[in-house]
Structures are given as C-alpha cells and as structure tokens.
Structure 1
C-alpha cells in the first residue's frame, strides 16, 4: 500500500522534494497506525457499528452546507471541465503559475494560500460530481472514468505537496478534508471494493488512498510543532492550543466521518471523550488545569482565540458540535451521558450568555463582525443549544432545570429575555463577568455594558480581508447604552473609531490603519473589577494603558501587526463606573498623555450613538430642541442636560470636566472600510445620523480628570443629582447616594482609607466595594480586581467595625462575594 502514497502528480514541472516524500510517508504511517487492521484487540461490537456509520455517511453527507455554499456549478458543468489528464481546464493557468513560481515549496502564507484556493475549488467540484452519482444523477462510469480519478489524485497530490512551514489552516484542515471524506463516502461501494482487495483499477486504488490522506488533514493540520504531531490520536492533541480547542477543534473539522473512514476505533473512542470533556468551564484561575483553555467560562460567558470574549463564535460552536457528535453516537458503543459538570456548564452559559444579547441584537463588541450592518433582529445564538438539549437530552435535567430552559426558549423566540423570577442577577439586573472584565446591566427598559480591559484578557481580534478592520478600542472601557439594540449596529459605517463610547483615547480616525491582530488590545495593568449583588446597583473600575495583547509571551498566534498605529497607545487613565438605579456615573482620574508630541487631542467620549429623534437641551426650565453644530455642555459656566427624545440623557460633572461638547451630524458611510463582509449586505445606508458627546482633555494632559452622568430612565432626570462624588483620584474613586443607603468605591491600593463626607471605609487590599440597603438590611459586595490567586480574604473596616470577606477560590475566583452586615 505504501507505493500508493508515492504516486506523482502528472502536472508538468512539479517534482516532489524530500520534504514532500516525508509528508507522504507520514500519511502512510498514520493510515497504518489508525486503521482497524492495526489494532491488537478486536472489538466486534464497535466494528459492526463502524459499518453502519459508514453506510450512514453515504446516505447523509457531513457538513453538507459547504457544498451548497462554495459550489455554484452543477455537477455536469464540473464534469465537462475535466480534461483527460484530470485537470480542470479553467484552473490550468493557475496551476501553471503555481508550478512556475514553485509555490509548493514556499514558506510564506500568501503563496501557500494560492495553492489552497485552487485545491479547495477542485476538491469541491469533485465532491459535487461524486454527490451527483450518490443521488443517482450521474452513472458509475462517470465516477470511474480515468479523468475523474486522475483529478482526485492530481489535486490531492497538489495539496499534500505543500510546504508545512507556512501553517496550513482553514483550507487544509476544514474545507479540503470535508470535500475528501464526503467524496469517499459518496463512492462508498467503490471504496469498499478497493479496501476488500476486490478492485483491479489502479487509479481507483490511488484515489482511495489520496482521499484518506486528504481527510486525515483534519486531524493533522495545522502542525502544532510538538509531540502530538507524531501521534494525533491522543487527548493532548485537542488541548492547550488555540487551533485545537473549542470551535477550532470540533466545529469546522470533519473529525468523526474521517474516523469512520479509517475504521479507527481509537479515533472514535478519543472523539467521544473530547466531546464530553469539552463541555466544561475554564477560568482565569483554572486556565492551566481546565480541559480547554478556551470555550465556556465559569462566569457564564466564553472565550475564543485566546482569552477574548467571543461567546457567539468559537465557544458556542465548540459546545454545539460536541453535543451534535455525542447525539450522533447515541445508541452506539460510544454513547455518553451528560455529566453533572456538562449540565452545570450549559445552564451557566444560558444564564450568562443572555446578557450579551438585547432584544434580538448581539452586542457590537464581541467578535470580529461587530461592524457588519444588521437590518433586523434575530434570535439569540444560544437558542440552538437550548433547543438541542430539550430535543436530545431533556431527561438529563431536573424538572426545574427543564422549566428554566423551556422559558429561556420561549423568551429567546420572543427576542426579549428577562426571566424576572430568577433573582440574583441570573437573567436581569447587574452582573460582573469576572473572566471577561465586563459589567452589564440589563432590564426591560435598557441595557448597558462596560467592557473593560486588564492584562489577563485579550481584546477583540481584527482581520483586514474578511472581518472588522478597526477593533482597537472595544475593551478600553467601551460603554454602550441601548434601548432597542440598534443604537450602534446601524451606524458603524460612519463611526469615528477613536471616539468609541466610554473610551479615553487620542483623536485621529484619519491616522489609524487597519490591521490583522488575532489577540486584539488589552491593558498593561492587572486591575479590572466590579462589585454587585445582582440588583440595580453596581460599581466597576480599572487601570488602563493600552498594549498589544499579541505581545504577551503565552500567545502562539501573534500575527504581524507589531509596531502599527503608534497613535493608539500611550494614554493612561483610571476609570470607574457607578450604577445607581437609573443613573450611571463615570469618573476618570490620572489621565495622562505620555506622547504629547503625537498629533491629536485626548478625549473621553461619553457616547457616539444613532440619532433617531430630536436632540434636546434643558435650558431655562424646559427642554429645547438643539440645532446642528458643536455645542458646549456648559451654559454660563453651568453644565446642562442633553437628551435624545425617547433615549438617554447626558450631563457632565463640572468639578472634574473642564471642557465638554456635543453635536449631531449626518456622516457619509464607508461600510467596506470597516468590514469587507459588508460587501454581501444589500441596501447599505449611504449616510447615517450620529449623536456624539465628549470631554476634551487637550493635548498636553497630565493627571487630568473627568466626570459625566447618563440617565437611563424614561422620565426626565431629577433637578438635583441623587448622589455625591466622594473622591476621584488614582487612589480611590467613590460615590454615595444622597440618602446614604448606597456607597460604592474602587480602591486601587491596599491599606487605603476613604474618609470623606461622613463615610469612612478602610480596606486591607485593592478591591471594589459596594454597600447598599436591601430591604431593611445592609448588604456588602466585595471583589478582588487583581484576581490574586494567593489572596484568600479581604478585610473591610466600616467606621470602627471590621468585616472579613472570604474570597471565592478555584474557578469562581474573581466573583464578588456578597454578605449581610451585622452592625
């Protein structure tokens, strides 16, 4: 059989190097290693099941959507383009270029990708032809024709001849293996004959082998350059690497059909284990011990492509496909039951993920498609996961859990998830996502997210050619206010990225250039936290100076964006947020421009949102309509309230904000500049109306401050502020309610005391503290914003009395601890 792996491509001037021969030997060795024939112990029951599954893949192709999505030609058109030598005539020129420029030997991704594109197109066409035969539209003589079998060998050799120095990713591990394994199962009768030694057709034999070689790439590519490359059928192959966990591990690879293609019991055994163990939680504190370093996080959200909050992509794709494969294995020798950890993980995800969706719109700061124009609402992405559980795993859950999931499904279909009977911040109220640096407030009337940064988390990735190009500020304290979910999604085409809401940054949209950065941007500092008991009130704060998250030592997909866009760096700030009923107070301190020689003023943007209604200012005792143009927030030295009819109201705190402005304008859009995927969207708005409000710090900024307020209620804000700012500097940022029933503070250092206006609080360690009256009792929420694994407790002294707060440990480290206070 080995000689079958040494068939040379008939394409002119293509000669295989020693490295390519080694690649072929590696594939042959793997075939022997993973096939049932090499097993030392027979398992009759599993072998019988393998036969049934192989027949099943013949009847029901795997990842069939790829064929419909990628292949527009008919099977007859594909077949008519085949020359006698197995070459698609319309691909001849591209193949000649590949040969002339020796692209198979190239160590560089662009050249390697040219080969991948040609092979992907060819393999999808060959699948199209085989699928037409499977469905009875073509004759057996067509798929046994020399030119068809030569084509499988030709393009298979072209793919396997590529140099591995450039990582062979999407095409090699996702698309091409899927086409190969489905082509194989479409020709199952012929493949069975080859493997039973009943075929005398040498081309068919060669085609069978090359299809197996291509399919195996979903297990072998990209190379990890570690010991698992020598034996891919081991648990460590699917752990501790961004390419081999979550969605990248299970969602896009045709792993299971390839295992049945190889009749490999060890492969299927392994996949059933990976699927079950993959439905589990990871966290900052258990990162190195958890099964997957990304996926579902213990705070109810998720990670993808590192520690970035991509909960609608890789984590949910990985979880969904783990369940899908386990469903496929039900009733077989590989059947698994959901463990308690599996069930807890899934319930936790429903309770957490709903915070990142509002009224049918996912938040525009969670993935690399945030700036794609969305015209209408949709159901929450985790709905499919919930439906799958109720269809396939309902009996695994208790009656109360079933009721909860079913209510989640009903409200998700209605595109309005609140579930108010679940107290404690499970589905509404306020919630701190301690693995993702996100504070969210959600209720029926409005939604707020404060998306902060630390050096623990990654930012949101950008990708120039097919995704967001400017995810530079999504984690810099981005603060979004929504009533209907469309406030930002529909205006991104005209956004000034350097004026992202809530962000303190250097002005200059015209100075930034798009980059591909798989890890985004985060903060140099290890300080981001929030305290809440889950109700209406919450406090958060973080210390910020931007860094490229790819610069961390533990990153294995650094990209090539180092040194780009120097203007986005070298701004420092301590930023805090206080949610008190329908008010949000934002304070900034320690605002520093470390590079004043760079052009651009430093500004803190309060909001940059869609202007849907009249903009009004409260002046002389009434609300008056505002004319276009830049306006000052100050009238005769006093700040004014500015509101958009039916939306939110804004003002500034004059003692902390020297210069502040607002304006509304119509801006011409450039949707393709923001994300190339907008090219597929019909009826993109040519212009958008935007309301923008900001605080101007100037260019020579040293230790500046800011303060602003956003009122979220439906009525007008109160005549007098219902709160008092106690302190706003780089040591403490604190606010109390006017009635004294709520006090909130961010302590950036330990052994620090807040002693202002009748409030005296001392803390033993850096922390975020909230003390509130709940009913007739005082309740304290305390959180460790540094997530110090060696810190077990924090002592908070209120007046003369000390309280000890035992901090959550393990996967819940970083979660606020809530306890009643007995004075």
Structure 2
C-alpha cells in the first residue's frame, strides 16, 4: 500500500512539474510575441509605399506585373520545375512580397486604413506561391517570402490578434491570416528533403545533414523562431532552441557523419559551406551569429540555455583560425563564389566583427578570464583592421598554420601574407554559378599561392587575370578557351594526399598530389566542360624557411598532349604597382623590356618588384622563366554578372606575371623556384639547399641543417643530409627544427588515415615516435619535442 501511495505521489509531482513547465512556456510564448511585435522589421520608404498603393488595383494585383502574370498562366509556369523558370518566378515574388511587407510597416506607422485590395493582394500572391511546384523551390520560398510574411503578420498584429481571438472579421481578412501562416511555415517545409523529415518538419533532425538545412541556410536566412512564435507553437520553439545551442560546434572529415552540423565551423579553425567547401566567411558566421542571437532572444524564458565549454571553444577556435584568411583589411580571393565581384571599398573589418562583439557583450561569462582578455584584445585589433596579436603564441593568430580540413597552408606576419590553396579528394572545390556568381572558379584550389604585402594585390587585378595562370598553379594555357560554368561542388584533386607541417612559427612545409577532377564526380558521372583544365598531374610542395619560400614540382605530366596549349607553372600574377628590376646579388640591373626572359643558367638572378617580393629560379630544375608587365582590359561581366550596373568599375589593370613553360609534351618534368619575402634585397647566397625533388620525396634544408622540411609521398623513402638519414613510417609532411638545446618534430598524416595512431621518424639512427591526433583532429599537425641530450644518450648507448 505504501509503495502504491509513493508511486502515485511521484506521478503527481512529475505531472505537476510538467504542467507547470508547460504553463511557464505558454506565458513565455506571449512574451516572445510581444518581443517580435516590437522588434520585427519595421523599415519602409513612404514614397515607395504610396507608389505601391497606386499600382495596386482593386483585384489585389500590382499593375506593373500584369504582363508577367499573364505569361505565368499562358506558359503554365506554376506547373514547370525548371530551375530558370523557378528562379525568375522566385525573384518576382520576392519583390512583390517585399512590397507587401513594407506596406504593412507603413500601415502600422502611419495609421492609414488598410484597404481591402491589400488583403486581396496577400491572397493573390500567396496563392501563386503556394501553387508552385515543390521541386527546386529554394531561396524565395524558404527565405524571403516567409520573412515577408512574418513582417506583415507582426506589423499588423492588431488585426491578427482580432482574428485569433475570435472577433468578428471579414472572410477576406481571415483568409489572408491563414495564407500568412502557411507562407511563414515554408521556412520549415521548403525545399523538400525527400526523406522522413518531410513528414515531421518540427524535429531537430530536420536541421541536420543537408546543405539546405544547416549553417546560414538553417538559422540565418529562415525566420525559424519568428515563425514558431507566429504559429504559437511550443514544440517549434523547443526545436529552434536545441538546434541553436548544438550548432555552436565544429566538424571535420573524420566526424562528418556524427557532427551535429556537417557544415559550419571546422575543427582546424576555418569553416565549410555548401558541403566541404572552404567558404570561411559566409555560412559559418551567418549560422553561428544567428544561433547566438536566437539564444539571446530566449533568455529569461524556459528555453534559456548556457553555452557549454564545447560551444565556447568552438567560437574561440574559429576566431583564432579564420583570422589567417584576412589581411590588413582585405579578404583574399578564392574564398567564396563572389571573389570576382568588384569592391570599391578599400578596407573592411573582418567579417566576424559583429559576432565577436556579441560574444563579448552577451556571452563573456562562459569564457575564462584569460580568454575574455584575449577576446577584448582581439576586438581592439579588429577595429584597427590589422590583426597581429603578437603577445599570443605563434600559430594562434600569426605565424604558420595548417588548415587540415580545408587543404590550406597560410603564413601571416606583419610584413607579408602567403596563402597556399591546395586540393585533395577529401575536400570539395569552390563553387561557380554562371547566372549570378563567379563563372570561372576552376583553378582556385590547384595550389594557388597568393603572396601579399598590402592585402589587395590580387583583388585589384581580378577583372583582368588569366585564370589559367593563377599564381602557384600548374595548368594548360588557354583562358580564351574557357566557358562559364555552374558547378556547385567545384573542382578537387583525384588523390588523397594533402598535408602541411609547422610548429606555428615562421617555418613550415605543405604538399599535395594534383590531378583535377570535378568534385561532383565523386558520387556520379558528370559531363566534362572546359577540357583544357584537365589532364595535368604534378607533385607540388611549398617550403617556408624564415623569409624564404621554396616551391618544388615533380612528375609534371601532360596526360592529354593532344589538347592545344603548353603546360605552365605560374610563379606570380599580381598587381604591377612599382618598378620591376633584376638583382644579381651585388647590384641592381634595370629592365628595359616589358616582357622577356629571366635567365638563371649562368648566374643567379632575382627579379624584384620594388617594395614587393623577390623571385628567383633553381637552375637545376628551372633555368629560364618568362615575364611580362602589361596593362590589360578588365572584363567584369565575364567574371561575375553581379558586377553589372556597378559604377566606377576600373577599365584596366596593370599586371606583373612570371611563369615557367614546360611545353606541350612534358612527361615527368620538374621545377623549382624561390621567393624572398623579407625587406630589401636577398643575400647573394641561398640560405637553403634542395635535398630531393621527385615523386617520392621533396625536401629542403637550411644551410646549417637546423631546419629540415620534407614531403614524403611514400613511406620508407629517405633523405640524407650530411651523415644523417631520415625516414618515416607513413606518407606525411615533416618539419624538423633545432633550437635552444632541443629538436622539434612537426608531422602531419597526409592521407588522414584513422588507422594511423603513430608515425615513427627515424632520425639520425634514432626512433622518434609521434602520436597522431585522433577523432575530429585527424590530419592536424602533431608536434613532438626532444632534447639534443636525448639523442646524445641514445648514441652513447649504441
């Protein structure tokens, strides 16, 4: 009997708690409604709204759209599912619903009586939208129109409240209210995923593991919380709160299927969008910023949540890492599908500026005291548009960093910035969209090497660049043969080999095996467009030793010699901003010709752009290079159609180019060149030596052997330096630095093989066992330090 009473008491307590929680959420829902009534978008231009009303006829149609609406009926466009038709109709309805939203704000502010034709317009244009085929309905249907519906609903709240409270209203007003709810719900329903979540849209799984339903596409552009409040749905708010909190995390190749979001922040400190694309500055920030804002709105409600330690670390990791993709107020090209849009603004704050401020203002309590100070220091430097953070360890905000989820190696100092954008089969490339974004993102992941002092050297010439000669790439000449493309997955390499190794300071190594493929072909066969871009193979390595960068290539092969055009490796294509001259190690030699040859067969020569970088050839591999300095016309519309209508577009660009010509029939060729990034002119003697340059190993060492860097494409191969012999147990990149009585081994698994737990380095007859990072950090650099005394004792023992 006692147990039955106890059992019933527990049930009553639990029922009371649930009932109380439910009541509390119902009260909170009313507060959220009040919040959105006050904070919904209330913007409008009165002059425009007066014009809109003049154009709105008694049937609820805008007279300036009658011709197109007749075309919709005549061509049965509501029954078609072609992408172009849907896009055009979507743009039209976006404009119309923008008008209706502005009119709602105008009615609210001005007190003008809402005419009957306005309610008819909601029915008319709402019906057109709802009758559209569900396939291919994306941006307008799930982003713009639901936002506009929420704007109408909350700005006309007095009318909506009368309808929902059962007051006597017209049939027209009630039907308009129902249409607004259905349109707002499209932020949860459209586009279809064609999986189980289409039958249960109010679920957390709806917002996972699909490109249309994660990142910015999930939380930033859809009015999810506004719609949940509009629908007066507690379960919908439950879902939004959970998604917002869990989205503040990161993903990697090894956790792609289990991470909460398979886009957004990446474990290496950068970000993905639209799949495994290095879209660092768009979707990851939009998604995370919106998540933080949603959680802020939910404060003081039963849905309030705290940031976990993992949430805080994900934000901190992104602030630290992504700053490498920004330099002196500029974002390098090749980081999104709008790289080729002309921007007349000289400088801009780092894109995460607003999110960083919100983190400090609203969430600083969830960081340690040291981290709070770090974020505040970062905010000050962000405000100056020059982020150095020199009081923090190298590799955190400056120095060298390997982005193992994005195949990028970056060196960032106060004097210069170098980004090597590589490729592997693990990542996707950068998308192109010929109808509204960049049309030629074909070569952007092929080892593009962007070297900058000011930050804008490449952006200012993007309108005239030869894309088959982007700096650092090995490609077939033929810009004139390229066609605009739409490719949402971009291009990658066929090979599972890309890696970088650095201890974070000024030294490092990066390498990849290159042979281009369409990233979509990883899943299905796709037609080949622009054949001139394909059929080239090369083993490419980049070595950073102090202020020198050495680039080596091996196995350079034209797999399709029947195609027109020579194979070239471009050393540089940058803005011509200053005088270019030669330096022989002792004296300066002026250049007379605007184009010609850099001939290093007989003696070393450096080609230098004043206040820029100095370039030379390694004559054992590349004795002669070609150069040109020319003014080229900009072709902005061919780059990106959104440049249409922009004012003050520069007509031309001054370009400096330097390249190696491998010929048309190159088989197993190689190359080598060096770039001096320091101030003034380089020393007359090279401070490094090349140890190997072939398809098995590429390796470079400083003349004093205190820095050794190598790319091992195969395990078991060796490099020799003096009496030392070095081998590794797995394909990897390896950096060995000797300093202050210790030797630092930095190594990265080039294949990101989850079965590899350790890499063994045989160094000077001694075994150094390095534990490899696991879980989400597979592929990251592992650093192992050994004292010189350790090696001495080992040698004495044997």
Query: Superposition pairs for residues 465-544 of structure 1, below 5 Å?
Result: 465-544=435-514
What secondary structure is seen at the aligned counterpart in 2 of 1:493?
coil
Give the match for residue 237 of structure 1: 206
1:278 Cα deviation (Å)? Answer: 0.3
What secondary structure is seen at the aligned counterpart in 1 of 2:397?
coil
Give the match for residue 656 of structure 1: 621
The answer to whether structure 1 residue 202 and structure 2 residue 171 are counterparts is: yes
The answer to whether structure 1 residue 697 and structure 2 residue 666 are counterparts is: no
Query: Superposition pairs for residues 776-795 of structure 1, below 5 Å?
Result: 776-795=741-760
Give the match for residue 139 of structure 1: 112
2:533 to 560, 568, 577: 568
Query: Superposition pairs for residues 140-159 of structure 1, below 5 Å?
Result: 140=113, 143=114, 145-159=115-129
Give the match for residue 618 of structure 1: 583
1:254 to 223, 240, 259: 223
| Cα distance change on mapping 1:329 and 1:725 into 2, 3 Å | same
1:756 Cα deviation (Å)? Answer: 5.3
Give the match for residue 518 of structure 2: 548
1:171 Cα deviation (Å)? Answer: 0.4
Give the match for residue 32 of structure 2: 53
Give the match for residue 66 of structure 2: 92
1:73 Cα deviation (Å)? Answer: 6.2
Alpha-carbon distance between aligned partners in 2 of 1:416 and 1:330, rounded to the nearest angstrom? 34
What secondary structure is seen at the aligned counterpart in 2 of 1:469?
coil
What secondary structure is seen at the aligned counterpart in 2 of 1:494?
coil
Give the match for residue 696 of structure 2: 731
The answer to whether structure 1 residue 325 and structure 2 residue 304 are counterparts is: no
Give the match for residue 679 of structure 1: 644
Shifted more, 53-62 versus 214-223: the winner is 53-62
Contact residue 283 and residue 298 of structure 1 kept, 8 A: yes
What secondary structure is seen at the aligned counterpart in 1 of 2:608?
strand
Alpha-carbon distance between aligned partners in 2 of 1:543 and 1:114, rounded to the nearest angstrom? 42
| Cα distance change on mapping 1:811 and 1:620 into 2, 3 Å | closer
1:118 Cα deviation (Å)? Answer: 2.6
What secondary structure is seen at the aligned counterpart in 1 of 2:437?
coil
Query: Superposition pairs for residues 94-109 of structure 1, below 5 Å?
Result: 94-109=68-83
| Cα distance change on mapping 1:200 and 1:417 into 2, 3 Å | closer
Give the match for residue 55 of structure 2: 81
Q: Cα deviation per residue 1:611-640 (whole Å; 9 max; x = unaligned)?
A: 110001124841122234322111564442
Unpaired runs of 5+ residues, structure 2, are 1-17, 792-798
Segments ≥4 residues shifted beyond 4 Å: 39-42
Alpha-carbon distance between aligned partners in 2 of 1:423 and 1:42, rounded to the nearest angstrom? 47
Q: Cα deviation per residue 1:638-664 (whole Å; 9 max; x = unaligned)?
A: 442100001100011111115411111
Give the match for residue 428 of structure 1: 398
1:726 Cα deviation (Å)? Answer: 0.5
Q: Cα deviation per residue 1:561-602 (whole Å; 9 max; x = unaligned)?
A: 732111101100000011000000000000010111111110
Contact residue 82 and residue 147 of structure 1 kept, 8 A: yes
The answer to whether structure 1 residue 304 and structure 2 residue 292 are counterparts is: no
Alpha-carbon distance between aligned partners in 1 of 2:454 and 2:509, rounded to the nearest angstrom? 24
| Cα distance change on mapping 1:673 and 1:273 into 2, 3 Å | same
Alpha-carbon distance between aligned partners in 1 of 2:456 and 2:593, rounded to the nearest angstrom? 22
Contact residue 255 and residue 775 of structure 2 kept, 8 A: yes
Q: How many residues align?
A: 770
Give the match for residue 439 of structure 1: 409
What secondary structure is seen at the aligned counterpart in 2 of 1:281?
coil
Q: Cα deviation per residue 1:450-486 (whole Å; 9 max; x = unaligned)?
A: 1110011111111122221111111110101111101
RMSD, matched Cα: 1.7
Q: Cα deviation per residue 1:435-463 (whole Å; 9 max; x = unaligned)?
A: 11111111111111111100111111111
Give the match for residue 334 of structure 2: 365
Give the match for residue 26 of structure 1: none
Shifted more, 662-671 versus 605-614: the winner is 662-671
Give the match for residue 641 of structure 1: 606
Alpha-carbon distance between aligned partners in 1 of 2:527 and 2:306, rounded to the nearest angstrom? 46
Q: Cα deviation per residue 1:107-143 (whole Å; 9 max; x = unaligned)?
A: 21222223223322221111111111111x1423xx2
Contact residue 584 and residue 604 of structure 2 kept, 8 A: no
Query: Superposition pairs for residues 150-299 of structure 1, below 5 Å?
Result: 150-165=120-135, 167-299=136-268
1:124 to 98, 104, 121: 98
1:676 Cα deviation (Å)? Answer: 1.9
Alpha-carbon distance between aligned partners in 1 of 2:784 and 2:194, rounded to the nearest angstrom? 49
1:775 Cα deviation (Å)? Answer: 2.2
| Cα distance change on mapping 1:806 and 1:636 into 2, 3 Å | closer
Give the match for residue 682 of structure 2: 717
1:42 Cα deviation (Å)? Answer: 8.1
Alpha-carbon distance between aligned partners in 2 of 1:595 and 1:91, rounded to the nearest angstrom? 52
Alpha-carbon distance between aligned partners in 2 of 1:174 and 1:689, rounded to the nearest angstrom? 41
Contact residue 601 and residue 624 of structure 2 kept, 8 A: no
1:41 Cα deviation (Å)? Answer: 9.8
1:758 Cα deviation (Å)? Answer: 3.7
What secondary structure is seen at the aligned counterpart in 2 of 1:472?
coil
Q: Which TM-score applies when normalising by structure 1?
A: 0.91
The answer to whether structure 1 residue 384 and structure 2 residue 354 are counterparts is: yes
Contact residue 600 and residue 623 of structure 2 kept, 8 A: no
1:200 Cα deviation (Å)? Answer: 3.4
Contact residue 199 and residue 205 of structure 1 kept, 8 A: no
Contact residue 723 and residue 735 of structure 1 kept, 8 A: yes
Alpha-carbon distance between aligned partners in 2 of 1:658 and 1:349, rounded to the nearest angstrom? 43
| Cα distance change on mapping 1:786 and 1:235 into 2, 3 Å | same
Contact residue 553 and residue 693 of structure 2 kept, 8 A: yes
Alpha-carbon distance between aligned partners in 2 of 1:693 and 1:501, rounded to the nearest angstrom? 9
1:679 Cα deviation (Å)? Answer: 2.9
Q: Which TM-score applies when normalising by structure 2?
A: 0.94
The answer to whether structure 1 residue 604 and structure 2 residue 563 are counterparts is: no
Alpha-carbon distance between aligned partners in 2 of 1:815 and 1:635, rounded to the nearest angstrom? 38
1:247 Cα deviation (Å)? Answer: 0.7
Unpaired runs of 5+ residues, structure 1, are 1-38
What secondary structure is seen at the aligned counterpart in 2 of 1:121?
helix
| Cα distance change on mapping 1:615 and 1:799 into 2, 3 Å | same
What secondary structure is seen at the aligned counterpart in 2 of 1:564?
coil
Alpha-carbon distance between aligned partners in 2 of 1:257 and 1:755, rounded to the nearest angstrom? 65
Q: Cα deviation per residue 1:669-695 (whole Å; 9 max; x = unaligned)?
A: 112211122235432211111110001
What secondary structure is seen at the aligned counterpart in 1 of 2:32?
helix
Q: Cα deviation per residue 1:202-226 (whole Å; 9 max; x = unaligned)?
A: 0011000001111111111111011
| Cα distance change on mapping 1:40 and 1:331 into 2, 3 Å | closer
1:757 Cα deviation (Å)? Answer: 4.7
Q: Cα deviation per residue 1:278-321 (whole Å; 9 max; x = unaligned)?
A: 00010111111100001001111100111111111000110011
Give the match for residue 4 of structure 1: none
Give the match for residue 354 of structure 1: 323
Alpha-carbon distance between aligned partners in 1 of 2:233 and 2:466, rounded to the nearest angstrom? 54
Contact residue 633 and residue 639 of structure 1 kept, 8 A: no
